[in-house]
Chains A and B, each alone.
Chain A
Amino acid sequence: MNKLQRILYVEDEPDIQAVAKLALEMVGGFTVKICSSGEEALREVEAFAPDMILLDVMMPGMDGPTTLEKLRQLPALAQVPIAFMTAKVQPQEVAHFKSLGAIDVIPKPFDAMTLSNQVQALWSAAHD
């Protein structure tokens, strides 16, 4: 696993799903799978076998932190970096998310043109 290729993005908002998928696939050239809820992500994640997971925080049903907690319990994903993509970026919020096991937080609204670079940089940092 020396190259970032497969990204799982968990996001309930279809429009953002579309923009992010486009940005990551067309700008970054990654393979992207979108899940619309935490439950769906837990079902699909092992089959997809992502290199990295991006999580929204506020979602109906299972929210981002809970999804993170459940994902972290899957042994197959032990080495997969997980980052949040959220508008909640107050320093204490960021610190809280990191304490849950996230490697970092990408603030919303994101810059579609530089999102791929951001994600790549986080992945690389996690594998240093």
Chain B
Amino acid sequence: MRLWLYLTLVVNSIILLAFIGYGGYTASKQTASLTKDLENDTRTMARSISAGSADDLLLASFDKIENLLLRQVTLGSVRELVVADSNGRILVQVERGSNDQPRSVYEHVSQPLDLSQSEVRTLATYTLLFPIERGERLGWVRVTASLSALETVRREIWVDALLASLLTVVVTGGLLAVSLRKTTAALGQATEFAGDLIQQRGVSMPMSSRIVEIQQLRRALNSVAQALSTQFLALQDSEAKQQRIAAMMRQIAKDLAARQFALDQSSIVSITDLQGNITYANDRFCQISGYALDELLGQNHRLIGSGSHPPAFFEDLWQTISAGRVWHGDICNRNRSGALYWVNATIVPLQGEDGQPEQYIAIRTDVTTRKEAENAMMLATEVAEQANKVKSEFVSTVSHELRTPLTAISGALGLIMGGVLGEMPQQAREMIALAHKNSQRLTHLINDLLDMEKLAAGKMDFDIQTQPLMPLIEQALEENRSYGIERGVMLALTGAAPDAEVSVDSQRLMQVMSNLLSNAIKYSPDQGTVEIAVEQQDALVRVAVIDRGQGIPTEFHARIFQKFSQADSSDTRQKGGSGLGLAITREMVERMGGEIGFESVEGEGATFFIELPLRNAESPSSIIDPKMFTAQDAPRILVVEDNEVSHKVISAMIGGRFDIDLATTLSEARTRMALERYDVVILDITLPDGSGWDLLEEIHTWQPATRIVIFSGTEMTAAEARKVDTVLLKSQTSKDQFLDAINSRIQPTKIKGPHS
């Protein structure tokens, strides 16, 4: 309902009720006054009739009484007059008939008057009973007056009141409606304005009323509108921001979920509070520990402690993580059924706003298999080392014990041979010479055995110095020239590399050259020449020792650098070699970073050559000085390889140049990659928990800058090889090729020789 209509109805109803109340009051007041007058008039008439009819009653002159009554009955409001005797028996009764004509009534005279009530009021009449006395009660007068006049008066008053009220209602209602509609129209405008505010259509409300309150309302609404408008703009801005943040959060949540999924697939994850009480554990944790989640939550992490680490181990761990640093290491745990298992754990403290650790998150990988293999390997290594030590001591002792008598024998023979003790018969001289030659051969054999033993045990020290090559070659030539002369063989140096500098142990290089030269002299024909050809190539220098002997049979080529190998056993005795010389020579050359090889056609002589990297040239990429890298930029390499032997081969080839981490399974590799960034991943294809190819996509996604080198035992197809940076075959890869493959994966600007 509209406000103006409502107010109008309420006001009019009030007015109406007021008039009705006033009419009722006035009507009742008026009629009460008239009733009083009528009762007084009636009483006066009754008294008058009583006085006028007493005598006639005594005389029983009822005609006179009737006349009196007939005169009186048309006065005022009288309707009926009755005179009765003292017992109430009606004597005369007259009434006002139609047209106000008096008439006597005779029909009911036999019915006596009711004397019990002196007055009776009905809606239409008023009846008064009045005694007639003359000293004594003679009879009764009853006057009945009509009240219809009163009713007429009352009705008139009501009609007036109603008419007045209706007139007032019409006039007031109209006025009210008009004025209220104007006022409430302002409210309508305010309402409309509020609607506009919501839709941002208006910014101010038009002035439309003279009413102070409406004006105040308008001003208030305009202020509200302005404030709202400002807030709305801020809200829109903040909504846009929130949408952007929400989009970012969704992306982060997605990334995190993906990472957590990946982590959960492979890793054993738990979170503890500062006291080590478990607050979270993933499925893998429950699985490996054998405990249900509700058995773990709230329990201290010591629950899975194995007791196999010394207290200092955990002191170090707690000191590290409580200082806010990451701890990394292998831990032995005990599962619910008491079995031990090993995990490789990384414990990361999560810090609060104050920088203090709030909780610790531990990510572990099951390395039980690896650890058991390591332990078995360690045991085997210990046994082997022990055996090796015993062997070394044995060889050393035997050698020394052999040398002592040899020293005496060869010394004595040497003196005799030298003629110090005088001349001898020819045959005796020949036999002594034979004994002397064989004592020397025995000496060489013992020396070679000791060298071989030392090389095999890694106990031969190399004093590597960068130095010019040519003086060493010339010295070697000089030292072996006498042996050549003895055998009638000439030594000739051809070619030169005057500026070549190499990093070698000069004594060992001398030993190498002596071995090659003595071999060449030994196998040269009488009056032959052994050529020493020196040639400088791009990044290396090649020293070749060329003889014109019988050459090396083709079937022997593959075994030539093996121990105790000579073309045939009879040859060994004939040429006085131990069969260890070339094996030792190769070992020494490789230990000095060089390579050895040979070329030979049977019957046309042999060429043995060594190649040494040049130190003063632009270094080849394989020669990397680990000092070139600082701790921060040292390249990180992840080796994913389950084969222990291959791992050792890789470690040996990398040789401490770079920091390497090892993963023996795909899952271990995933964990490593979730925790650290690597420059190179060296990947085997056949792994216990899947194929190395499975890891490619994850590497590309997580660490797109990482280069992948496949190091496999089997050949790849061209399509497979295109998926990675380099493919190397285990059986065909040299150390240099391997290092080249890694180096070309690491920023090339850093790979420079120390002199460049």
Mark A residues whose CB is within 8 Å of B: 13, 15-16, 18-20, 22-23, 26-27, 58, 87, 90-92, 108-113, 115
B120: chain A residues within 8 A (beta carbon) = none
Contact B414 A112 (CB under 8 A): yes
Contact A22 B420 (CB under 8 A): yes
Contact B454 A109 (CB under 8 A): no
A113–B461 alpha-carbon span in the complex (Å): 31
Cross-interface CB contact of A110 among B399, B411, B463, cutoff 8 Å? B411
Query: From residue B351, how far is it (CB to closest CB) to chain A in Å?
Result: 51
A-B contact pairs, 22 of them (CB 8 A): A16-B404, A16-B407, A16-B408, A18-B408, A19-B407, A19-B415, A22-B415, A23-B411, A23-B415, A23-B420, A27-B415, A90-B454, A90-B460, A90-B461, A91-B463, A108-B403, A109-B403, A110-B407, A111-B410, A112-B410, A112-B414, A112-B420
Interface string of B494-519 (1 = CB under 8 A from A): 00000000000101000000000000
The reply to whether the CB of B443 lies closer than 8 angstroms to some CB of chain A is: yes
A92–B507 alpha-carbon span in the complex (Å): 12
Contact A19 B418 (CB under 8 A): no
Interface string of B405-424 (1 = CB under 8 A from A): 11110111011011011000
Name the CB-closest residue of B to A87. Answer: B403
Name the CB-closest residue of A to B420. Answer: A26
Given A16-B408, A19-B407, A91-B461, are A58 and B400 neighbors across the interface (CB < 8 Å)? yes
Query: From residue A79, how far is it (CB to closest CB) to chain B in Å?
Result: 29
B454: chain A residues within 8 A (beta carbon) = 90
Contact B400 A16 (CB under 8 A): no
Contact A87 B400 (CB under 8 A): yes
Query: From residue B699, how far is it (CB to closest CB) to chain A in Å?
Result: 46
Given A27-B420, A92-B461, are A112 and B403 neighbors across the interface (CB < 8 Å)? no
Query: From residue B673, how far is it (CB to closest CB) to chain A in Å?
Result: 44
Name the CB-closest residue of A to B454. Answer: A90
A112: chain B residues within 8 A (beta carbon) = 410-412, 414-415, 418, 420
9 shortest interchain CB distances as A-B pairs: A19-B411, A15-B408, A112-B414, A109-B407, A113-B418, A112-B411, A87-B403, A112-B415, A108-B407
A19–B421 alpha-carbon span in the complex (Å): 12
Mark B residues whose CB is within 8 Å of A: 399-400, 403-408, 410-412, 414-415, 417-418, 420-421, 439, 443, 454, 460-461, 463, 505, 507
Name the CB-closest residue of B to A114. Answer: B414
Contact B399 A20 (CB under 8 A): no
Contact B399 A87 (CB under 8 A): yes
Query: From residue A70, how far is it (CB to closest CB) to chain B in Å?
Result: 24
Query: From residue B79, how far is it (CB to closest CB) to chain A in Å?
Result: 167
A23: chain B residues within 8 A (beta carbon) = 411, 414-415, 420
A104–B367 alpha-carbon span in the complex (Å): 54
A92–B508 alpha-carbon span in the complex (Å): 13
Query: From residue B446, how far is it (CB to closest CB) to chain A in Å?
Result: 9
Given A19-B412, A58-B400, A87-B399, are A109 and B418 neighbors across the interface (CB < 8 Å)? no
A22: chain B residues within 8 A (beta carbon) = 415, 420
Cross-interface CB contact of A13 among B404, B460, B463, cutoff 8 Å? B404
Contact B420 A109 (CB under 8 A): no
Contact A113 B414 (CB under 8 A): yes
Indicate the member of B405, B420, B507 with the most A CB atoms within 10 Å: B420
Given A58-B400, A90-B454, are A113 and B407 neighbors across the interface (CB < 8 Å)? no
A13: chain B residues within 8 A (beta carbon) = 404, 407-408
B460: chain A residues within 8 A (beta carbon) = 90
A113: chain B residues within 8 A (beta carbon) = 414-415, 417-418, 420
Give 10 A-B pairs besides A15-B408, A18-B408, A23-B415 with Cβ atoms closer than 8 angstroms. A15-B412, A22-B415, A26-B415, A27-B415, A91-B461, A91-B463, A111-B410, A112-B411, A113-B414, A113-B417
A110: chain B residues within 8 A (beta carbon) = 407, 411
B420: chain A residues within 8 A (beta carbon) = 22-23, 26-27, 112-113
